[in-house]
Every structure is written in structure tokens, then in C-alpha cells.
Amino acid sequence: MSFNFTKFPVLKTERLILREITFNDVDVIFNLRSSKEINKFIGTKRVQNNKEAKDFIIKCDELYKVKNRILWGIEYQQKIIGTIVLHNISLEKKYGEIGYKLKPEFQKKGFMSEVFKVILKFAFKELTLKTVEAYTHKNNSSSIALLEKHNFVFQEERKCNTFDFNRIFKLEI
């Protein structure tokens, strides 16, 4: 493994910078994690205030330090427009999960597909993962299309233990 979790990995695409979320981003994290529209297909509890958004950033930092999670802010024209995360990382099992959120006004413009390319390359080359999974709502057709575009395969025989409405998709190399 060439990545050792000492320095946060800043990644770039043609239009975007994927960078560490800081306390300067509390307002945007609050917006992304509290929005009813952005989270309509997500079963986890929405944050209620900036303190909970800050606590989320602290938790992500703690999980980064134990090599379990990497949360990137998706920056476009010096503004965070979404997040993407590799979480539940197991370097021993060569496994991780991917999750993502994007402000509605930036959806369907190819941003997330652009991000997926660099994140998956990072996951497989730098972290040397062999499997990345995604859990997405059965009615989230945009998310399902994104996953299928990037060669994730629906795991029809598997069920999500947390939310009945989630479907599991897997990408293996």
C-alpha cells in the first residue's frame, strides 16, 4: 500500500478539487446533511444544527486517523458542492464502501461521474482495495445509473441489514 493516512489526499479532476473538510465547512456540511431534498433517499438521521455538523466533521477526522474513513469535500469554483466518502475501510480485507451527496443544482452535470473516476482509482491503486460497495435506495434511479456506469453490479441475493429499501452494488477488481 502506498497511502499511509498521514497526509490527507487532495485529488483533482478537470473541474473539481476533492479536499479535506474543515471547520470552515460547517455551514455547507449542515446544508448537505440536513436538507430534506438531498437526503430523501437516505435513511440516516439528518443533522439538526451546526454543532451536529461540527461533530460529524470531528467523527470523520477520528475515523480517518484509524484508517476507516476518508471524507472529501467536492469543491467547484472555490465552493463545496457535495461530498464523497470511502468508509468502513478495511485494509486487511481490502474492502471499502462509497457514499456521496451533491447539491441539487449540480446534479445531472457529470460532476459525480468525474469524481467517481478519481476516487475509484485512489481506492484501488493507493489503498489497494479489491472491493468497493455502495448501498443505495431502490428508488434512487440516478444513483443506480451512476453505479452501473462505473461497473458496479447489483447484488440481488444480498439484503441491507440497516434499511430494507437499500440495494447493494459491488465493484471488484
CATH (domain of 89): 3.40.630.30
What digits encode the pLDDT tens for the residues 88-100?
Answer: 999 999 999 999 9
**Mean local confidence (pLDDT), 4-20:** 96
3-state secondary structure of 98: strand
Structural domain count, the chain: 1
User: Does residue 3 lie within any of the structural domains?
Assistant: no
User: Does residue 102 lie within any of the structural domains?
Assistant: yes
CB atoms under 10 Å from CB of 162, counted, come to 10
* Band of residue 161 on the pLDDT scale cut at 50, 70, 90: confident
User: Does residue 61 lie within any of the structural domains?
Assistant: yes
Closest CA to 135 of 127, 143, 125, 126: 143
Planar angle of CA 77, 49, 72, nearest 5 degrees: 35
User: Does residue 78 lie within any of the structural domains?
Assistant: yes
Q: Say what the pLDDT of residue 159 is.
A: 85
Position 160 pLDDT exceeds 70:
yes
Question: Any idea which residue has 459491488 for its cell?
Answer: 170
Give 22's contacts (C-beta < 8 A, 6+ positions apart).
57
Q: How far apart are CA 134 and CA 156, in angstroms?
A: 13
Pairing of strands 131-137, 95-102: parallel
What digits encode the pLDDT tens for the residues 21-66?
Answer: 999 999 999 999 999 888 888 888 899 999 999 999 999 999 999 9
Average pLDDT, the chain: 95
3-state secondary structure of 22: coil
User: Does residue 47 lie within any of the structural domains?
Assistant: yes
What digits encode the pLDDT tens for the residues 114-134?
Answer: 999 999 999 999 999 999 999
Q: Say what the pLDDT of residue 158 is.
A: 87
User: Does residue 145 lie within any of the structural domains?
Assistant: yes
**Which set of grid coordinates corresponds to residue 86?**
470511502
